[in-house]
């Protein structure tokens, strides 16, 4: 035997990175001229190093560089001669614009969105549902301006970076992203969103902006949200009223209402909306508002129920990828790390669907992390870990 069978092929990390077409990296690099001042660590090598850190769950640059140092015999499969120096990687994180990673993510999403999208969601009659929410990543205030009072014990005030995300419900990945200081109010994110007519968008009541709702009504963009407890409105028509029924479930009341707001010229206006009171199976009561007057009220309630998907997405990202510690103290380095995590999450969604596995996302990530530089066929390994490992490591039959 001239070569051990476990050294045949490509390590798992190399197979993951091969899902990023070369032309996407080349196009993004040229668009931002990202290799001009960083020839010692071109974008391809930089991306590979950061994805190694993401999948290995490294909490610092030293862990990334020393971890890759232990893999130097295998780095040739990743297109690298040697592990990058910590200072080189640090300079690239802080000085190379994060925009090249933003472009990489959205070009990659465009490449795979049709493949990862489901044709429908259970119970929904619509085909274009977006979900909005935000999550805060805590930082010290010398990175981004802190929020709140200074601690009495003299310690540094915690600030944060707020990640505002628009998620496509049918693909389960982030479709639009904006990062701001934690103090920025959620509803400002709505002004940066552009959606085609007949899109549906769902969000919590923190995003309520009647001026924006009016604009969407004109554009035929339909929203579903919860009504604020202190909202002042006028009922113009009652369509359903089951509030008098004992132990009633589902739709308790459906009304047409108007709400006052000021337009961009500070003129008083009235906005026509639909208000639905709904009692869930756990007896919790929800009050929804929407500018869509055609869908049945139960569909409106179901659309809002699907809002939990973006909370699961944030949980999935925070639990499985390194966002507790950062690989640089600049805002650029932090945003670059966030986009590297999003690229990794998107690649895992693609690979999970290709493998047709029943493994949970977290279990799949854990297994990959432990075998990141192992030589085994990736899709087979995800689908049936033991079978694929035995196949890759069983001794060859003796020749007679």
pLDDT over 90 at 134, yes or no: no
pLDDT of amino acid 155: 45
pLDDT of amino acid 3: 39
Q: What is the mean predicted confidence (pLDDT) over 179-206? A: 86
pLDDT of amino acid 19: 93
pLDDT of amino acid 192: 86
pLDDT of amino acid 147: 41
- Tell me the pLDDT tens digit for each residue of 384-396: 777 877 777 776 5
> Which is nearest to 45 in space by CA: 94, 81, 96?
81
Lowest mean pLDDT among 126-140, 306-320, 355-369, 385-399: 385-399
Q: What is the mean predicted confidence (pLDDT) over 5-17? A: 74
What DSSP character marks residue 85?
P
pLDDT category of residue 159 using cuts at 50, 70 and 90 = low
Mean pLDDT of the chain: 85
| Six-digit token string for 2 | 């001239």
HSE-CB of 272 using CA atoms within 13 angstroms: 7
Would you mind telling me the total number of residues written for the chain in this entry?
400
pLDDT over 80 at 295, yes or no: yes
Contact 27, 107 (CB under 8 A): yes
Q: What is the mean predicted confidence (pLDDT) over 282-310? A: 92
pLDDT category of residue 187 using cuts at 50, 70 and 90 = confident
**3-state SS, residue 376:** coil
The DSSP line for 133-165 is EEEEEEEETTTS---SPPPTTSPPPEEEEEEEE
Detail the DSSP E strand segments found in the chain: 129-140, 158-168, 173-181, 200-202, 222-226, 234-241, 250-262, 268-279, 285-290
pLDDT category of residue 400 using cuts at 50, 70 and 90 = very low
Higher pLDDT, 135 or 104: 104
Residue 252 CB coordination number (10 Å): 20
- Tell me the pLDDT tens digit for each residue of 24-82: 999 999 999 998 877 788 999 999 999 999 999 988 899 999 888 888 777 877 878 88
pLDDT category of residue 233 using cuts at 50, 70 and 90 = very high
Q: What is the mean predicted confidence (pLDDT) over 205-232? A: 91
Enclosing H/E stretch for 302: helix 297-305
pLDDT category of residue 8 using cuts at 50, 70 and 90 = very low
pLDDT of amino acid 7: 40
Higher pLDDT, 120 or 178: 178
Q: What is the mean predicted confidence (pLDDT) over 240-264? A: 88
pLDDT of amino acid 396: 57
pLDDT of amino acid 222: 95
- CA-CA distances (angstroms) from residue 292 to 137, 190, 240, 254? 34, 18, 16, 13
HSE-CB of 279 using CA atoms within 13 angstroms: 12
What DSSP character marks residue 5?
G
pLDDT of amino acid 139: 60
The DSSP line for 163-190 is EEEEEETTTTEEEEEEEEETTS-GGGGG
pLDDT category of residue 101 using cuts at 50, 70 and 90 = very high
Give the sheet arrangement for strand 200-202, strand by strand.
Answer: 173-181, 158-168, 129-140, 200-202, 222-226, 285-290, 268-279, 250-262, 234-241
Higher pLDDT, 266 or 17: 17
The DSSP line for 102-137 is HHHHHHHHHHHHHHH--S--TT---S-EEEEEEEEE
pLDDT of amino acid 154: 46
pLDDT of amino acid 291: 94
pTM for the whole thing? 0.84
pLDDT of amino acid 157: 46
pLDDT over 70 at 150, yes or no: no
Q: CA 243, CA 253: separation in Å to the nearest integer?
A: 7
């Amino acid at each position: 035997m001239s070569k051990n069978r476990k050294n045949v092929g490509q390590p798992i990390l190399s197979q993951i990175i091969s899902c990023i077409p070369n032309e996407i990296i080349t196009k993004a690099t040229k668009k931002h001229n990202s290799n001009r001042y960083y020839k010692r660590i071109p974008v391809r090598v930089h991306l590979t190093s950061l994805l190694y850190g993401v999948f290995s769950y490294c909490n610092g640059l030293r862990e990334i560089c020393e971890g890759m140092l232990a893999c130097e015999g295998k780095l040739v499969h990743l297109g690298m001669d040697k592990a990058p120096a910590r200072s080189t990687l640090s300079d690239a994180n802080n000085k190379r614009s994060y925009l090249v990673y933003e472009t990489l993510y959205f070009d990659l999403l465009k490449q795979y969105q049709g493949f990862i999208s489901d044709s429908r969601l259970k119970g929904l009659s619509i085909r274009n549902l977006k979900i909005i929410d935000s999550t805060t990543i805590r930082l010290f205030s010398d990175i981004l301006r802190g929020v709140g009072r200074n601690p009495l014990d003299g310690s540094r005030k915690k600030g944060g970076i707020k990640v505002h995300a628009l998620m496509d419900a049918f693909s389960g990945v982030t479709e639009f992203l904006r990062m701001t200081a934690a103090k920025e109010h959620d509803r400002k994110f709505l002004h940066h969103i552009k959606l085609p007519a007949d899109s549906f968008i769902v969000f919590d009541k923190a995003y309520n902006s009647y001026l924006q709702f009016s604009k969407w009504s004109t554009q035929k963009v339909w929203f579903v949200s919860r009504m604020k407890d202190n909202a002042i409105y006028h009922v113009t028509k009652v369509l359903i009223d089951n509030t008098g029924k004992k132990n009633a479930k589902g739709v308790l009341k459906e009304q047409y209402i108007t709400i006052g707001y000021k337009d961009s010229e500070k003129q008083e206006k009235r906005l026509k909306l639909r208000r639905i009171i709904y009692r869930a199976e756990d007896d919790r009561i929800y009050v929804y508002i929407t500018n869509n007057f055609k869908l049945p009220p139960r569909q409106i309630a179901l659309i809002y129920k699907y809002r939990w998907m973006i909370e699961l997405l944030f949980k999935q990202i925070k639990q499985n990828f390194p966002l507790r510690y950062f690989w640089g103290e600049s805002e650029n380095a932090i945003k670059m790390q966030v986009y590297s995590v999003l690229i990794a999450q998107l690649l895992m969604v693609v690979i999970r669907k290709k493998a047709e596995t029943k493994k949970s996302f977290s279990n799949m990530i854990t297994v990959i992390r432990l075998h990141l530089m192992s030589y085994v066929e990736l899709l087979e390994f995800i689908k049936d870990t033991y079978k694929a490992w035995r196949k890759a490591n069983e001794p060859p039959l003796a020749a007679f």
